[in-house]
């Protein structure tokens, strides 16, 4: 079975092709036979296309003056043409899986995409404006290029459907709940994959574990996972709540927004842009949303960059503390995504607060930046894992299961 996965981000479109030849899914994520990525510049005028195959062939091009959809079609063309060709015809693809950030209350499990599903994704775009429209664009691009191939939507919110009402419902008039205002949570595909992988690494049954998974990328969220089920998470009604992020503010006093609307001439659209695109590390530091650039600026004596770092760590430690309370204990702390997998300094800073619980991180193991490893000392009472998140493989697994159930 050939499974194509599309993972749309706010500034990128990633894609990969898996080929599963056995009747059962492999335990570990296999290497895709083909991977493609388009990264757009901030002005969206050009796209940097990178493609590579499992056998080492590569393609790198920058395309200017075309739409995002045209860039994605160009990337997918590399599946069947040139040095990165791995199949003869696009019709060889059996199913296409899409990461969709927001599924609302109605879509809590992966589903085959129909017109009704597309309309629901579009309606939910006001709750995930940086992601849902792009997922929908990817679905429509596949319709144009592959015709009536089966497409599956896998929702980031789905894993968090098990969060109890006490954690999911906001302390506002209950009538708002009936309007769908509640905590949905995001990065669920990543949190779910990492919890399963953590159990494999530890040689434990997932149902016996209490985990905190830290998805730290440009977007950041924590999840408290007990017996394999999400019981709390930091993101909420939208992906804006929770931790300080690359360019998103995370949680702030809602009274600030009321004050600005009353006392200044901000529009809701302007505030939306500021909170999602001009806050977080970028807004505080004035340097970048990229933690690597923040660290460079700190080394050059930039005080605002130092403040951004300190705030980021403080919010991360505070979030972990809240998750600890909800779990009633902890077996393993898991770091994943770009920052979580690559920044030894962030992992060290996040763990320092929990030494009184017996958590001990091994400095040498931590700085090796290896993936899918335990970096705690042997005598640590809590394991500390670095796991390479495999959202694409998790989506492919769901596609395989749906196709095999038809």
Q: What tokens were used for 225?
A: 């996972």
H-run or E-run covering 210: strand 210-216
Q: Who contacts 95 (Cβ-Cβ below 8 Å, separation ≥6)? A: 1, 3, 4, 149, 150, 151, 152, 399, 400, 402, 403
Contact 39, 11 (CB under 8 A): yes
Residue 403, helix vs strand vs coil:
helix
* Helix (H/G/I), strand (E/B), else coil: 3: strand
Report the topology of domain 2-155.
Nucleotidyltransferase; domain 5 (3.30.420)
* pLDDT at site 26: 80
Residue 192 has pLDDT above 90, yes or no: yes
pLDDT tens, position by position, 381-390 = 999 999 999 9
* Highest CATH level, class, for 204-386: alpha beta
Contacts of 326 (CB under 8 A, 6+ apart): 167, 224, 231, 232
Band the pLDDT of 45: cuts 50, 70, 90. low
Query: Which pLDDT tens digit goes with each residue over 13-43?
Result: 899 999 998 778 787 888 999 999 988 766 5
Query: So what's the pLDDT on residue 260?
Result: 94
Domain ranges across the chain: 2-155, 204-386
Joined together, the tokens standing for residue 331 give 């077996």
Helix (H) or strand (E) holding 192: helix 188-202
Active site residues: 156
pLDDT digits (tens, 9 = 90+) for 236-293: 998 899 999 999 999 999 999 999 999 988 999 999 999 999 999 999 999 999 999 9
Same fold, 2-155 and 204-386: yes
pLDDT at 406 over 80: no
pLDDT at res. 227: 94
Residue 195 near residue 206, CB atoms below 8 Å:
yes
pLDDT, residue 42, reads 60
The residues, ordered by sequence, that sit 6+ positions from 278 with a Cβ below 8 Å of its Cβ are 247
Specify whether the CB–CB gap between 117 and 227 falls below 8 A: no
| Mean model confidence pLDDT for the chain | 92
Angle at 237 between CA 236 and CA 243, to 5 degrees: 30
Cα distance between residue 22 and residue 164, in whole Å: 38
Q: What is the pLDDT of residues 108-156, one digit of tens each?
A: 899 999 999 999 999 988 888 878 988 998 999 999 999 889 999 999 9
State the pairing for strand pair 383-386/111-112: unpaired
How far is Cα 41 from Cα 143, in angstroms, rounded to an integer? 26
């Amino acid at each position: 079975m050939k499974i194509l996965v599309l993972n749309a981000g706010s500034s990128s479109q990633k894609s990969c092709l898996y080929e599963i030849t056995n009747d059962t899914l492999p335990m570990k994520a296999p290497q895709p036979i083909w991977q493609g990525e388009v990264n757009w510049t901030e002005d969206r005028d050009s796209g940097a296309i990178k493609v590579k195959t499992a056998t080492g062939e590569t393609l790198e091009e920058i395309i200017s003056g075309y739409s995002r959809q045209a860039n994605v079609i160009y990337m997918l063309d590399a599946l069947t043409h040139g040095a990165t060709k791995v199949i003869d015809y696009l019709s060889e693809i059996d199913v296409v899986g899409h990461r969709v950030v927001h599924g609302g209350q109605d879509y809590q499990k992966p589903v085959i995409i129909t017109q009704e599903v597309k309309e629901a994704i579009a309606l939910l775009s006001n709750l995930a404006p940086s992601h849902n429209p792009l997922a929908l664009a990817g679905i429509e691009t596949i319709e144009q290029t592959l015709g009536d191939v089966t497409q599956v939507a896998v929702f980031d919110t789905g894993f968090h459907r098990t969060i109890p009402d006490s954690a999911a419902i906001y302390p506002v008039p209950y009538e708002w709940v009936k309007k769908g205002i509640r905590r949905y949570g995001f990065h669920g595909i990543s949190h779910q994959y990492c919890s399963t992988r953590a159990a494999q690494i530890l040689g434990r049954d997932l149902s016996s574990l209490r985990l905190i998974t830290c998805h730290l990328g440009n977007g950041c969220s924590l999840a408290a996972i007990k017996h394999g089920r999400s019981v709390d998470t930091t993101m909420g009604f939208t992906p804006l709540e929770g931790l300080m992020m690359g360019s998103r503010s995370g949680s702030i006093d809602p009274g600030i927004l009321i004050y600005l609307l009353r006392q200044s001439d901000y529009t809701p659209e302007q505030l939306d842009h500021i909170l999602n695109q001009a806050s977080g590390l970028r807004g505080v530091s004035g340097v970048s949303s990229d933690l690597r650039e923040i660290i460079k600026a700190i080394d050059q004596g930039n005080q605002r960059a130092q403040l951004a770092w300190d705030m980021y760590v403080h919010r991360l430690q505070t979030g972990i503390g809240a998750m600890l309370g909800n779990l009633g204990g902890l077996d393993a702390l898991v770091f994943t995504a770009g920052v979580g997998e690559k920044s030894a300094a962030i992992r060290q800073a996040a763990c320092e607060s929990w030494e009184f619980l017996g958590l001990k991180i091994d400095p040498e193991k931590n700085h090796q930046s290896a993936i899918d490893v335990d970096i705690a000392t042997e005598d640590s009472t809590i394991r500390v894992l670095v796991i390479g998140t495999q959202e694409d493989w998790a989506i492919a697994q769901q596609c395989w299961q749906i196709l095999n159930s038809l």
